Amino acid sequence: MKELDKTYSSGIEERIYKKWLDKNYFHADVNTDKTPFCIVMPPPNITGHLHMGHALDNTMQDIIIRYKRMQGFETLWQPGTDHAAIATEVKVIDKLKAQGKDKNAIGREAFLKEAWDWKEEYGSKIIKQLHRLGCSADWQRERFTMDEGCSDAVLEFFIRLYEKGYIYKGSRIINWCPVCKTSISDAEVLHDESEGNFWYIKYPVADMEGEYVEIATTRPETMLGDSAVAVNPHDKRYLHLVGKMLRLPLSDRTIPVIADDYVDMEFGTGCVKITPAHDPNDFEVGKRHKLAEINIFNDDATIDLPGSKYDGMDRYIARKEIVADLEKAGLLVKVKPHLHNAGTHDRCKTVVEPMIKPQWFVRMDELAKPAIKVIEDNKLKFVPESFSKTYLHWLENIKDWCISRQLWWGHRIPAYYCNECGKITVAKKEPEQCSCCGKKAGFMRDEDTLDTWFSSALWPFSTLGWPDKTPEYDYFYPTDVLVTGYDIIFFWVVRMVFSALDETGKVPFDTVLIHGLVRDSQGRKMSKSLGNGIDPLEVIDKYGADALRMTLITGNAPGNDMRFYFERVEASRNFANKIWNASRFIMMNMSHIDTEHKIPDTLKTEDKWILSKTNSLVKEVSDNLDKYELGIALGKLYDFTWEEFCDWYIEMVKPRLREREKDSISADSALWTLKTVLSDLLKLLHPFMPFVTEEIFCNLNNLSEDESIMVSKWPVYDEKLNFKTDEASVEVLKEAVRKVRNIRASKNVPASKKTAVYIVSDDNKHLDIFKESEGIFKHLAYASEVVLKNSAENLEKGCIMAVLAGINIYMPLAQLVDIAEEKQRLKKEEGKILNEIHRAESMLVNEKFTLKAPAAKVEEEKVKLEKYKGMLGQVKEQLAQLESI
């Protein structure tokens, strides 16, 4: 048996991971003799660098996949990366700028070549970082959202939805990013509360001198695009104005007063400016009343009103000018501070502008219905279940999805416009002639690309070969569980579900395991602006991947955020060291024996106890993992390994190992038990800490290079190892040891000082426990002798007693301490306590203190006095006990 190094080093990780890759352990095949289990990895961006969110998400997936692999499933963890349209385009543009080049100047084809070069250079970076984390994904099957197969699936999906009438092109309000100069979906808009103002403005009535309506707005610049002012049809204050025309301030236009139930009479002034081209609610009002849609912005959010004073101004500069001009004209009533939710692009953090633009949309009403029903029919489960409400709320309030983006990097929309009649033809390739006019005049392809989420919505089945009916698709689809953060439910989960139901007729996975965010030690979200981000690779370099993985899962509950502390990483590393050192001790003692695989018939009580406890642990941990309670499972493994196995069982059997020459049968039974339990614990811990468990397990079991813990069998509960009577006996023994150690600790007795221990019980069954395990108890309780008695008669005077159920434990005080020294110490202690009692009583009878001091301070002194009186009673009792000896 190869001996482990003296100290555990995370330097073994690179060697072990290479072995796993070389031996092809991560690869999955279509195997009809096995039950498939499949997870698709949420594809990280090719611009990405491994962050703590990635580390948590992928550690959770790896735990599940390793567990299922050891259970005998044919496990596929399908990896891949996402082209990340906006993020990658920005990166490439910045790279070109640094070279003195301009995106538009070099043209689309040259730009796309630059983007693909970027992908080749940086695309695999995060994958290599996932290797460092120990991820056991099937890297041979790695996919990319813009590889040939996935790209074909995207085009197929688009065409199918278009032919069903779910995709259309139209002018609607969309979210426009003035920096990225593209539309973005509602899910990509963050709504953060920020400080702003309400500006109250007069809109004069055109034919009623001196009369006006007053509106309140948070965006004065948009008044340049107003088409009406709306009031509630039940608001008696303004009914006489409905149908009247208003003079739009700072312009030569007039706009009508309209009545619409959309207006809240209680909010603001009860009059609402309607700007159909720049507000989604106003857009709907405008449709109902057939109002003009006036877009006042250029793509960079500068004002687009030729001939106007404000033409070409940035939106915020125009705001200041407009407010100043309103004030000069006497039309600004007041300005009130107001907190409002400003929508910002989640990528560049720029405030978005709602604008009417011709875009491609997915009609969501019908697509949402089946996605809602799978929750109602319990075909799709969320863990925790409460997140199904988030999912349902999004679907029940869903709007048509804007899927076109004004980018070059991404899947280009497969729509072709006839140069002769303008008819749109949707097809994978440019048609030869127009189906409308019949001309072969040529076509112009749509310039836009598709939203990144449109392609990643197909990820669970496009990666398996869809739309082709591949063996992998037939075998592994639907997948089993999706692991993702709660912040991505509506971005991705919803879209995968309705896309899969529409195209495959199946839910893409039966369970969605939701995790929270990894926050810093103060509970703050990690961000560049705060400078509180922690690089997982730096943690791995210093502490090892196992320590990081363990830290991320310890105490982790599905759906809850977690705080990252380096103290916890150090504790995780200490746990790895604990396992390593315990394993070294066991293996050093096994060097001269051969432990067989069958259960020996010479097991002692403590052997049966640890085997029975381990057997129960196997069942509990497996149940927890089946319920995706990863944090609970790891907590049980940590406590059991550290306390029951290392601190109790190993200590229990040390005397048997030392006395091997006297009783080799007993020593060999202990070693068989040690190896058996350690092997099972390593297997149970392997999904969480794959590297250290691999190294120990392979050496412990003399495995060849072609063998690994990750392909060993997962432990299963065995009724033959259910030793409840022995469990109960050892638990009594442990409690007795704790009682003895507590007494010794209270008297500061060193471990080297042995004392007699008397076990007294009128129940011989209790005494038999100590009789059978006398050596263990004597060793653990630091006893010079263990005396079993049916009564306390004839015990020497001055014994300290501890009580268990049906058992009394006595220890001669004279053997624990020097009586004369202890009396002297207690006398000194008594004097100190009496001084404190006198001080407290003096303060509490002093009216200057009780009347002038804060009530809390007076109460504090009263509490101290009672505490000191209690301590005095205990000291007097101990002194009396010593005097009786």
- pLDDT, residue 802, reads 84
Lowest mean pLDDT of 84-93, 319-328, 650-659, 700-709, name the range.
700-709
* Cα 390–Cα 83–Cα 503 angle in degrees, nearest 5: 55
- Residue 759 CA: distances (Å) to CA of 731, 773, 808: 16, 13, 6
Assess contact for 485 and 456: CB atoms under 8 A: no
Q: How confident is the model at residue 592 (pLDDT cuts 50, 70, 90)?
A: low
CA distance 177 to 351: 7
Domain with CATH 3.40.50.620 in the chain: 21-156+460-515
Cis preceding linkage at 478, omega within 30: yes
Domain with CATH 1.10.730.10 in the chain: 564-722
* Cα 248–Cα 220–Cα 203 angle in degrees, nearest 5: 30
- pLDDT, residue 350, reads 87
User: In Å, how far from its chain's centre is CA 212?
Assistant: 55
Owner of token pair 């030690």: 521
Q: Which residues of 665-701 are buried (b: 16+ CB within 10 A; e: fewer)?
A: ebbbbbbbbbbbbbbbbbbbbbbbbbbbbbbbbbbbb
Q: What are phi and psi for residue 170, nearest 5 degrees?
A: -160, 170
Q: Does the structure show a pLDDT above 90 at 813?
A: no
Roughly how many angstroms between the first and final C-alpha of the chain, as a whole number? Answer: 57
Q: Tens of pLDDT along 177-219?
A: 988 888 887 777 887 777 888 999 999 999 888 899 999 999 9
Q: How confident is the model at residue 528 (pLDDT cuts 50, 70, 90)?
A: low
Domain with CATH 3.90.740.10 in the chain: 182-354
What is the CATH architecture assignment of 182-354? Alpha-Beta Complex (3.90)
In the chain, pLDDT over 70 holds for what percent of residues?
A: 98
Q: Which fold has domain 726-817?
A: hypothetical protein PF0899 fold (3.30.2320)
- Residue 853 CA: distances (Å) to CA of 384, 418, 839, 868: 52, 91, 16, 21
The type of residue at 493 is V
Q: 446 or 817: which carries more pLDDT confidence?
A: 446
Q: Does the structure show a pLDDT above 60 at 595?
A: no
Q: Does the structure show a pLDDT above 80 at 854?
A: yes
- pLDDT, residue 346, reads 74
Assess contact for 760 and 789: CB atoms under 8 A: yes
Assess contact for 249 and 350: CB atoms under 8 A: no
Nearest residue to 334 via CA among 200, 462, 136: 200
Span 534-542, mean pLDDT?
93
- pLDDT, residue 113, reads 96
- pLDDT, residue 348, reads 80
Lowest mean pLDDT of 5-14, 163-172, 622-631, 694-703, name the range.
5-14
Q: Which CATH number fits domain 564-722: 1.10.730.10, 3.90.190.10, 3.40.30.10, 1.10.1380.10?
A: 1.10.730.10
Q: What is the mean pLDDT of the chain?
A: 92
Q: How confident is the model at residue 824 (pLDDT cuts 50, 70, 90)?
A: confident
Task: Tell me the CATH number for domain 21-156+460-515.
Answer: 3.40.50.620
DSSP result, 449-490? EE-HHHHHTTHHHHTTTTTS--HHHHHH-S-SEEEEEGGGII
What residue spans of 25-147 are helical by DSSP H? 52-70, 85-98, 103-106, 108-122, 125-133
- pLDDT, residue 577, reads 95
- pLDDT, residue 875, reads 80
CA distance 777 to 769: 10
- Reported residue count of the chain is 885
Q: What is the pTM of this model?
A: 0.86
- pLDDT, residue 597, reads 60
Widest Cα–Cα separation across the chain: 119
Assess contact for 149 and 335: CB atoms under 8 A: no
- pLDDT, residue 885, reads 67
Span 861-867, mean pLDDT?
91
CA distance 339 to 196: 6
- Residue 728 CA: distances (Å) to CA of 473, 606, 654, 732: 52, 10, 21, 6
Q: Does the structure show a pLDDT above 80 at 884?
A: no
Q: Tens of pLDDT along 226-240?
A: 999 999 999 999 999
Residue 771 annotated as binding? Answer: no
The type of residue at 725 is T
- pLDDT, residue 193, reads 77
Q: Does the structure show a pLDDT above 80 at 59?
A: yes
Task: Tell me the CATH number for domain 820-883.
Answer: 1.10.287
Assess contact for 257 and 207: CB atoms under 8 A: no
- pLDDT, residue 689, reads 98
| Residue 481 β-bridge partners | 511
Q: Tens of pLDDT along 667-684?
A: 999 999 999 999 999 999
User: In Å, how far from its chain's centre is CA 98?
Assistant: 37
Half-sphere exposure for 474 (CA within 13 Å, toward CB): 7
